[in-house]
Amino acid sequence: MEERTAQSLVHRLSSASDPTSLSEALAELRLLSKHDPDIRPLLISAGAVPLLLSSLSSSVSDQENAVAALLNLSISSRASLMSSPGLLDALSHVLRHGLSPPAVQSAAAALFSLLTVEDYRPLIGSRCDIVSALIDLIRPQNPKNTTRSVKDALKALFGIALHPPNRPSMVGSGAVPALFDLIMKDGRIGVVEDSTAVIAQVAGCEESVGAFREVFGVGILVDLVDPAEGGSSDRTRENAASALLNLARFGGVGVVKEIRRIDGSMEGITYLMENGSARAKAKAGQLIDVLLMSSDGWDHWDSRYGVSCSSMDSSPHVSSQ
């Protein structure tokens, strides 16, 4: 029954002879793919994806319905969707030239959904157009910068940054100033938490050291850790400590001295080590060890620690639309 429904709907989409018929078929496909997980792979098997991709250049409502349907399909059938020719090109186009904020947000969410699969992170992260578009989306001055768009873009950037070789290109594309700009200008707690999670991952590469210095990132992170500054959530403090730890890992003695020179840095990190969550205590403790380490101890750094992972509320669960 569901297979016939999927085939019938895809046939309607492929044979639509006027804009109204096309719009009705797209709207129905979006709705069906949202509420019926079992029909998603059947829609893909029936040939829905190429038709949805070709509909992304239609009207505003058609683009919104088509990209939302692609997002819904990705939740249950990531492998089938990822193997569709032209998918990443299409999502990149909507990110950069989307006709409405909801369409752009769905494109970012679809990428986040795909990035929950570890094997897809190298390919998606190698797409400079996608990385740059996601970074542009989180800039406060972007007119399509809605709360949902920003959070989905941050989650996609987090997924990209989980693959270490992607981090240098993220730095080169301007991720560091964009992320810190978002922290300084956006007061939404969830946005700041997710921004610091991405920052902590991006900090895990040599290229990040200079980029952080250009935006006074170390000082900002120390302030986020310090409870005396107020305003930071527990997760933000944990992520900030993780970022400082990763930055010290790749910046060495120079970064350590930079952290220690900031008034109150040791007190704030010590407070987190004593009063934070279990994860925060562990990260703050490692950071304290690094800050107190003698220069001779740096020869053994790699085997002792490795890169610290940040915390983002970005489990593989993705909401359909």
Lowest mean pLDDT among 119-123, 156-160, 178-182, 189-193: 189-193
What pLDDT score was predicted for residue 130? 98
What is the average per-residue pLDDT within 174-185? 95
pLDDT surpassing 60 at residue 269: yes
* Span 103-131, pLDDT tens digits: 999 999 999 999 999 999 999 999 999 99
Q: What is the dihedral of CA 84, 153, 141, 170, to 10 degrees?
A: -90
Lowest mean pLDDT among 114-123, 272-281, 286-295: 286-295
* pLDDT grade for 263, boundaries at 50, 70 and 90: confident
- Which of 243, 141, 242 minimizes the C-alpha distance to 182? 141
Q: Using alpha carbons only, what angle is made at residue 215 by residues 226 and 200, rounded to the nearest 5 degrees?
A: 55
Please give the structure tokens belonging to residue 290.
């690094």
What is the average per-residue pLDDT within 206-216? 95
* Span 24-74, pLDDT tens digits: 999 999 999 999 999 999 999 999 999 999 999 889 999 999 999 999 999
Expressed in angstroms, the distance from the first to the final Cα of the chain is 24
What pLDDT score was predicted for residue 301? 47
* pLDDT grade for 230, boundaries at 50, 70 and 90: low
What pLDDT score was predicted for residue 318? 56
Residue 270 located in a structural domain: no
pLDDT surpassing 80 at residue 299: no
pLDDT surpassing 60 at residue 197: yes
What pLDDT score was predicted for residue 127? 97
- In the chain, % of residues over pLDDT 90: 71
Residue 74 and residue 37 in contact, taking contact as beta carbons nearer than 8 Å: no
What pLDDT score was predicted for residue 304? 41
Residue 66 located in a structural domain: yes
Residue 35 located in a structural domain: yes
pLDDT surpassing 70 at residue 296: no
Please give the structure tokens belonging to residue 232.
């930071």
Contacts of 187 (CB under 8 A, 6+ apart): none
Angle between helices 234-251 and 207-214 (to 10 degrees): 120
pLDDT surpassing 80 at residue 89: yes
Residue 4 located in a structural domain: yes
Q: Using alpha carbons only, what angle is made at residue 230 by residues 227 and 234, rounded to the nearest 5 degrees?
A: 65
The Cα–Cα gap between 163 and 256 comes to 25
How would DSSP label each residue in 85-123? TTHHHHHHHHHHH-SSHHHHHHHHHHHHHHHTSGGGHHH
Model pTM score: 0.90
Contacts of 32 (CB under 8 A, 6+ apart): 5, 9, 39, 43
Q: What is the mean pLDDT of the chain?
A: 89
Residue 106 located in a structural domain: no
What pLDDT score was predicted for residue 140? 83
The Cα–Cα gap between 53 and 19 comes to 16
The Cα–Cα gap between 74 and 271 comes to 43
What pLDDT score was predicted for residue 320? 61
Residue 252 located in a structural domain: no
What pLDDT score was predicted for residue 234? 87
What is the average per-residue pLDDT within 65-89? 94
Q: Which domain, by its residues, includes 62?
A: 1-77
* pLDDT grade for 189, boundaries at 50, 70 and 90: confident
- Which of 177, 173, 84 minimizes the C-alpha distance to 127? 173
Please give the structure tokens belonging to residue 43.
């829609």
Contacts of 109 (CB under 8 A, 6+ apart): 71, 152, 156, 318, 319, 321
Residue 244 located in a structural domain: no
Q: What is the DSSP letter of 173?
A: T
Total count of domains within the chain = 1
* Span 26-40, pLDDT tens digits: 999 999 999 999 999
What is the average per-residue pLDDT within 5-23? 90
Contacts of 18 (CB under 8 A, 6+ apart): none
What pLDDT score was predicted for residue 241? 94
pLDDT surpassing 50 at residue 204: yes
Better-predicted residue by pLDDT, 307 or 259: 259
Residue 93 located in a structural domain: no
Lowest mean pLDDT among 90-94, 150-154, 255-259, 306-310: 306-310
